[in-house]
A and B are shown apart, each in its own frame.
Chain A
């Protein structure tokens, strides 16, 4: 089975959950012996792990014919791919794109992020997809999230192969119900013209069916999983030097994540007890509002902000926490509680997050039920019975949520589309 996959992020250069999920899923798929994955990303950095799949950077794919000597290609693209690949791609340029700005190799520059001209970047990505789809042989196309849907559709129309789109989030989640019509249009177009839609949770599946008017039998749920921790991370010790319990919020501080509910719950808990400290880790457009709110409630002496954390810092934060809270208003899946559970941290999550569908050993509340969140925080910090229980059972539970199993479900979907 050969799969052509379009993604936007791939570790180590990730901006959000999409990159982690793409990595986990492809790694899980690669455990199937006959699986060959070609993964296209807008910008390759050269330090991606290519041991189990082939990465093609759209920024290294020529769309304008340039006569470049082998040595130059070797020198410029050697760390990304075999120079022969460059010539193979160049042979499949299908139209005159010389009106677009390209470099000396005939390639478009991509930021690989989510810049303000994202729509232009998406369009360019789809142009490149046309070249790649012509140059390679594959059985199925798989596109991750709306930024890659046009590329997926293009590859489908060029090759006639079935297209699976993978919904990691919808515009309704990102905007708390006020979608940008342009983005909605791209999403809807992708969903209307693909062959199967994979959603990361039943919550997302419901949104896709109701708000994008998709037939129910076209939309399936494959829950995300989590990669096991590597020993280096496992060995991190608790850093916190304070004797109090630490309750953590970790994520982008935006409307979608419900940070204000965390602050309100903290205010309630601190009114009753002083043996707890609260930490809000991450950054986002609501950070300043939250700082104001904390000051206004008079709890700033026990409520701390860390700013944005990356890589190892995230795990250091988890390892130093006694409770992790994710009061997301609308979370398609939400991988971070699973990571917290791996570190042995009891979690409180909202019913409005997709991962609550597969987790039993966490406390679930409604995101707006500040009373219930406060009650749960208090219990986890006060009664060792429940925190020990969730710590142990939660770890066991999350250790059984493997990408290998998720990949098997995806494979079943491929099989049904390819051998029908």
Chain B
């Protein structure tokens, strides 16, 4: 029996405002509230809200047979809470049906898995807490930012306690193998992997409304026929996409909502079921392992990291950022911690990409900046201010190790003082009791 596994990604970065070098050291608010708000509300109206309604209807209509999963970054949740809380309400309702799974990822939609294992783990924990708080689920399947995956990452994820992971079915990794099975990590065989079927996914995400495509128009019937026509032993079809596909990347007038509404009907007709990632990973036996020495992602033709860390601009900004991470962890200023998360969002590095020069139109569509250089300059100005704030927390002359041990001593002393105080108090109370007794005796 074939199974379709849908998971939708929701993510929006906190875009930075134009931050001039004059602002460094004076202005510690970095975000472009106006554009963050207007972009998020626009997407919510066009995509998230109608899609939530549609999926709730489908889940209710098929009474537990239609299932989906979500992966929502912490920064997106933060933004939704501020600007479009009704989207979170919709997701809560979906969660209550019991047929919707929430996946684990890094809180900041960050690239921390590539640079800083400690930070990576902290963010994954923080994200799991947030999901628990909002949706009352404990995520068991891990999905890294932009489906970035490598053997090394699978080991880190295993150490954090996860046994199930999702990544890209990159052709240069799979070779002749099909993504429509469950696999294992080569170096950590306890981690099961679910791979995205990029061809089928992209038929929906990229080509659905492309009238130059020879399969245009794409109907639910045709799509299910393709899935039905895959070899019978290939049982898992993983369609992982951006939630904005519904209504934003593919506007509603293209018929994307109607396509999705019709899909389950044709699937059931062909004896195809739906399942969540954890169900598939629990119920299907892995057929082999895959080895990924170099990190892969779901982006661009190359399916590698070049969109975020392809040029020296990106790498230098990235290294500057993670050079400070140890120091940041020693601080406990809440605003500082929050900025630290928001500055790690991978989108900031994506805006600095120079891969798009050769393409028609020059620069990438999603960037709020006129050029990659503006993106870099602005980000570096913000980062300079941030680093200044971090350094201002503790004297610069003390190195991290020394500082860490000093902080431990201070914290331990605090504990000790409290303990002694408590002791003192109990002794005093005892003394008072004795005193009272004595007094009574005397009387």
Whether A378 sits at the interface, judged by CB under 8 Å, is yes
Which listed residue (A272, A360, A375, A385) contacts B320, Cβ 8 A?
Answer: A385
Whether A221 sits at the interface, judged by CB under 8 Å, is no
* Chain A 271-304: CB-based contact to B (< 8 A → 1; otherwise 0): 1110000000000000000000000000000000
- The answer to whether B380 touches A388 (Cβ under 8 A) is no
In Å, the complex CA distance between A361 and B384 comes to 24
Nearest neighbor of A388 in chain B, beta-carbon distance: B312
**Chain B residues within an 8 Å CB radius of A378:** 21, 377, 381
Closest approach, in angstroms, between the C-beta of A269 and any C-beta of chain B? 8
- The answer to whether A383 touches B21 (Cβ under 8 A) is no
- The answer to whether A375 touches B373 (Cβ under 8 A) is no
Closest approach, in angstroms, between the C-beta of B370 and any C-beta of chain A? 8
- The answer to whether B313 touches A389 (Cβ under 8 A) is yes
Whether A158 sits at the interface, judged by CB under 8 Å, is no
Whether A386 sits at the interface, judged by CB under 8 Å, is yes
Whether A376 sits at the interface, judged by CB under 8 Å, is yes
Residue of A364, A374, A389 ringed by the most chain B CB atoms within 10 A = A389
Whether A36 sits at the interface, judged by CB under 8 Å, is no
Whether B22 sits at the interface, judged by CB under 8 Å, is yes
In Å, the complex CA distance between A389 and B375 comes to 14
- The answer to whether A383 touches B354 (Cβ under 8 A) is no
- The answer to whether A375 touches B21 (Cβ under 8 A) is yes
- The answer to whether A383 touches B20 (Cβ under 8 A) is no
- The answer to whether B316 touches A360 (Cβ under 8 A) is no
Whether A363 sits at the interface, judged by CB under 8 Å, is yes
- The answer to whether B381 touches A363 (Cβ under 8 A) is no
- The answer to whether A385 touches B376 (Cβ under 8 A) is yes
Whether B60 sits at the interface, judged by CB under 8 Å, is no
**Chain A residues within an 8 Å CB radius of B376:** 379, 383, 385-386
- The answer to whether B311 touches A389 (Cβ under 8 A) is yes
* Chain B 310-323: CB-based contact to A (< 8 A → 1; otherwise 0): 01110111001000
* Chain A 106-127: CB-based contact to B (< 8 A → 1; otherwise 0): 0000000000000000000000
Whether A384 sits at the interface, judged by CB under 8 Å, is yes
Interface size on A, residues (CB 8 A): 25
Q: Which of B299-355 contact A (CB under 8 A)?
A: 311-313, 315-317, 320, 354
**Chain A residues within an 8 Å CB radius of B315:** 385
Whether B203 sits at the interface, judged by CB under 8 Å, is no
Whether B226 sits at the interface, judged by CB under 8 Å, is no
In Å, the complex CA distance between A409 and B313 comes to 34
- The answer to whether B316 touches A364 (Cβ under 8 A) is no
- The answer to whether B380 touches A383 (Cβ under 8 A) is yes
Nearest neighbor of B318 in chain A, beta-carbon distance: A385
- The answer to whether A383 touches B377 (Cβ under 8 A) is yes
Closest approach, in angstroms, between the C-beta of B388 and any C-beta of chain A? 13
In Å, the complex CA distance between A371 and B20 comes to 8
- The answer to whether B20 touches A385 (Cβ under 8 A) is no
Whether B357 sits at the interface, judged by CB under 8 Å, is yes
In Å, the complex CA distance between A347 and B81 comes to 43
Nearest neighbor of A348 in chain B, beta-carbon distance: B373
In Å, the complex CA distance between A361 and B362 comes to 12
**Chain A residues within an 8 Å CB radius of B374:** 363
Whether B371 sits at the interface, judged by CB under 8 Å, is yes
* Chain A 196-220: CB-based contact to B (< 8 A → 1; otherwise 0): 0000000000000000000000000
**Do A363 and B371 contact each other (CB < 8 Å), given the known contacts A272-B21, A272-B22?**
yes
Which listed residue (A268, A269, A379, A390) contacts B381, Cβ 8 A?
Answer: A379
Which listed residue (B313, B354, B371) contacts A364, Cβ 8 A?
Answer: B371
Q: Which of A173-199 contact B (CB under 8 A)?
A: none
In Å, the complex CA distance between A268 and B23 comes to 12
- The answer to whether A385 touches B381 (Cβ under 8 A) is no
In Å, the complex CA distance between A388 and B377 comes to 13
- The answer to whether B313 touches A385 (Cβ under 8 A) is yes
Q: Which of B8-33 contact A (CB under 8 A)?
A: 20-22, 24
Closest approach, in angstroms, between the C-beta of B18 and any C-beta of chain A? 9
- The 5 A-B pairs with the shortest beta carbon distances in the complex, nearest first, are A385-B316, A379-B377, A378-B21, A389-B312, A360-B357
Residues of B within 8 A of A (CB): 20-22, 24, 311-313, 315-317, 320, 354, 357, 362, 371, 373-374, 376-377, 380-381, 384
20 A–B contact pairs at CB < 8 A?
A: A273-B21, A361-B354, A363-B373, A364-B371, A374-B20, A375-B20, A375-B377, A378-B21, A379-B380, A383-B316, A383-B380, A385-B315, A385-B317, A385-B320, A385-B376, A385-B380, A386-B316, A388-B316, A389-B311, A392-B312
Residues of A within 8 A of B (CB): 268-269, 271-273, 360-361, 363-364, 371, 374-376, 378-379, 382-386, 388-390, 392-393
| Contacts A389-B313, A390-B373 known; 17 new A-B pairs at CB < 8 A | A271-B22, A363-B373, A374-B20, A375-B381, A378-B381, A379-B373, A382-B21, A384-B316, A385-B312, A386-B316, A386-B376, A386-B380, A388-B316, A389-B311, A389-B312, A389-B316, A393-B311
